[in-house]
Amino acid sequence: MRIGELSRETGVGPRLLRYYEEQELLTSYRADGGHRHYDREAPVVVRRIRTLLAAGLPTRVIRDVLPCVSGSGDILDACTLGHLRQRLTGLEEQLAGLQATREILAGIVTATERSGAPAAV
């Protein structure tokens, strides 16, 4: 399968497919004429990559966990749990920080509104 075919089948542009190769997430081989070719599993691999990216995993982590992916990308072997738990903990910490920031800002807005200050447009 050539890069254009893989792009059409997955909806992922050729430039991004080349990036996945640079990040060692996807492999291709060069045929005569220098064109990239991918094996039959490439569309499945691309869909797995997209699923893991949508879950917020950076490409460096995806490179580590990709060999442990089964199915469409939402089931991983146990060897990935450390990476996934670490990422989940980080996201929970970010959410807590954002919630605290939101509460502070909401308090400032409420105090400003109560003071009778004119609203800016």
- Residue 45 covered by a domain: yes
Per residue in 18-32, pLDDT (tens digit) is 999 999 999 999 888
pTM as predicted: 0.71
Model confidence band, residue 80 (pLDDT cutoffs 50, 70, 90): confident
> Is 119 a domain residue?
no
Look up the domain containing 58 and give its range. Answer: 3-114
Whether 66 is in a domain gets the answer yes
**β-bridge mates for residue 70, sequence order:** 75
Residue 107's H or E segment, with its range, is helix 81-114
Give the pLDDT confidence of 6-57 residue by residue, as tens digits: 999 999 999 999 999 999 999 999 888 888 899 999 999 999 899 889 988 8
CA distances from 70 to 29, 50, 75, 80, 84 (A): 24, 14, 6, 11, 15
Residues 6+ apart with CB under 8 A from 64: 80, 83
Q: How many domains does the chain have?
A: 1
- From start to end of the chain, where are the E strands? 29-30, 36-37, 69-70, 75-76
The number of CA neighbours under 13 Å toward the Cβ of 70 is 6
Task: Name the residue among 40, 62, 45 with its Cα closest to residue 53.
Answer: 62
Look at residue 120 and tell me if it is in a domain: no
CATH number for position 17: 1.10.1660.10
